[in-house]
Amino acid sequence: MTVIGTGYLGATHAACMAELGHEVLGVDVDEAKIERLAAGEVPFYEPGLPEILEQNIGSGRLGFTTDYQQAAEFANVHFLGVGTPQKSDSYAADTTYVFAAVEALVPLLKGDHVIFGKSTVPVGTAEALQKRADELSAEGTSVEIAWNPEFLREGYAVHDTITPDRIVVGQRDGSTASEIAREVYATALAADTPFLVTDLATAELVKVSANAFLATKISFINAVSEVCEHTGADVTQVADAIGYDDRIGRKFLGAGLGFGGGCLPKDIRAFMARAGELGADQALTFLREVDAINMRRRTRMVELANEVLDGVLGHRVTVLGAAFKPNSDDVRDSPALSVAGQLSLAGAAVRVYDPEAMENAAKVFPTLEYTESLDEALDGAELVILATEWAQFRNMDPEYAGGLVKDKKIIDGRNVLDVQAWHDAGWEMQALGRNL
Ligand code: UDX
């Protein structure tokens, strides 16, 4: 098989498919990226991926190319994992890269081929791609577009790809694409992984619905968090208590700085935009609220820092975390970096430390001060903000940290610290949605 697009999704899919025993060729237009991958180097941080990349290149099952001709000749099964970022001038998703990949590949194909789309796309895209493929395919060649959404989480991408919790395949009437998918995912199916065959639109909707639901769940608890701030109630206890109801569940009820990353923010916006285009805009207006609640958490954090320091201007603030979540170096729409940036623009002297995301963060916000170590970040701080819950920050020793900072003041932006231990070590603590 080929895997077209070798970003977070595609590179992981390619390496994992090779790990499962398939012959895989990863394809990308970015020569530098392909060169690094071919040399066994993962261009981003993803635990476990470097090992399987190297092993499978070594075994000869995994290769990389920028040459579409080679891709067309290599396989009859193709996976499409290119990006669908938010458009610069609207909420909609930009499907340029998805179409570009199909337009580059299809005219070169001979025989019978299936292209499984994995990218998150607006509903209706697969059908439009099928039309385009029909226009571009050579006489006697058949190209089937099917949709096989990807649910992997960054930081757990290898695990989620090799042992997914479900496999969804959207196909047109009478298509046998799902039979091919059954062969591809034979290992997961042998372990009784649920396998759902749907039409194209349903498969596309499954992905955006899943992400919209997760975003809504986070914003729900963050809305409760806002109310807690006005009443003195404790949002983490509310989450624990409602989470015991297995209809609700405790996962994704982590109140704090809210969601970011390359998926949830853009996906809820693209979902709203697409619903509007389809004439169903009222159905998803609540997602505007989900987005707004999420953004307000960042503003609230900046307000809180101002309250604690009686104005941040001229004060030294240390922000722990730059990645949008732990175990990732991804800073796309990162709440941590947004807070650090806003504080800096308000005149604070901001220091940032993140175990993996410093390089990416420095590209987005070159004006912030990035330190080499956690100790250096804490040194002389007047306020510490825990913005991304890396284990290194969760497990900080409050006594030791207290010896490094100027003032023992901390805001737990992810509600992960042991309040008693930090209080015992003499720290003044604040958090979102809790009165500490
Ligand atoms: C998400 C989906 O989980 C995944 O299925 C999909 O394929 C891509 O989008 P990802 O973007 O890797 O994955 O991150 P996820 O683990 O879902 O976290 C998203 C954001 O929500 C992070 O910023 C995280 O910090 C935040 N979050 C998560 C919370 O604020 N509270 C929670 O309780 C959980």
Question: 16-43: per-residue pLDDT in tens?
Answer: 999 999 999 999 999 999 999 999 999 9
**Which two three-digit tokens encode residue 133?**
């493929």
Nearest Cα residue to atom 19 of ligand 1? 259
Shared-domain flag, residues 237 and 103: no
> What's the structural domain count of the chain?
2
Q: Is the Cα dihedral 156, 158, 163, 164 positive or negative?
A: positive
Closest CA to 431 of 301, 321, 264: 301
Pocket test for ligand 1, best of 325, 327, 331, 338 (most atoms within 8 A of CB): 325
- Per-residue confidence at 402, pLDDT binned at 50, 70, 90? very high
Q: Is the CB of 254 under 6 A from ligand 1?
A: yes
Shared-domain flag, residues 158 and 307: no
pLDDT value at position 256? 98
pLDDT value at position 313? 98
Classify residue 117: in a domain, yes or no: yes
pLDDT value at position 237? 98
Strand order in the sheet with 383-386: 369-370, 349-353, 316-320, 383-386, 409-412, 428-431
- Per-residue confidence at 421, pLDDT binned at 50, 70, 90? very high
Q: Is the CB of 164 under 6 A from ligand 1?
A: no
Shared-domain flag, residues 194 and 236: no
Shared-domain flag, residues 129 and 186: yes
Q: Give 434's DSSP letter.
A: B
Q: Is the CB of 352 under 6 A from ligand 1?
A: no
The boundaries of the domain holding residue 253 are: 232-436
pLDDT value at position 71? 98
pLDDT value at position 423? 98
Place of tokens 């900072």: 405
Classify residue 412: in a domain, yes or no: yes
Number of the ligand 1 atom closest to the C-alpha atom of 263: 9
Residues 6+ apart with CB under 8 A from 379: 404, 405
Strands 2-4 and 77-80: parallel
Nearest Cα residue to atom 25 of ligand 1? 325
Average pLDDT, integer, range 390-407: 98
Q: Is the CB of 321 under 6 A from ligand 1?
A: no
Shared-domain flag, residues 295 and 182: no
- Per-residue confidence at 125, pLDDT binned at 50, 70, 90? very high
Shared-domain flag, residues 401 and 299: yes
Shared-domain flag, residues 33 and 171: yes
Closest CA to 304 of 419, 423, 410, 424: 410
Q: Tell me the whole-structure pTM to 2 decimals.
A: 0.96
Shared-domain flag, residues 273 and 405: yes
Pocket test for ligand 1, best of 8, 152, 213, 218 (most atoms within 8 A of CB): 218
Mean pLDDT taken over the chain: 97
Number of the ligand 1 atom closest to the C-alpha atom of 260: 23
What is the maximum span of the chain, computed from C-alpha positions, in angstroms? 76
DSSP strands (E only) in 335-393: 349-353, 369-370, 383-386
CATH code for the domain in which residue 352 is found:
3.40.50.720
Q: Is the CB of 326 under 6 A from ligand 1?
A: no
Whether 16 sits among the annotated catalytic residues: the reply is no
Q: Is the CB of 286 under 6 A from ligand 1?
A: no
**Which helix (H) or strand (E) element contains residue 229?**
helix 200-231
What is the DSSP annotation of 252-313?
Answer: T---SS---SSSHHHHHHHHHHHHHHTT-GGGGTHHHHHHHHHHHHHHHHHHHHHHHHTS-T
Classify residue 18: in a domain, yes or no: yes
pLDDT value at position 294? 98
Q: Is the CB of 218 under 6 A from ligand 1?
A: yes
Q: Which of 80, 263, 270, 302 is catalytic?
A: 263
Shared-domain flag, residues 12 and 125: yes
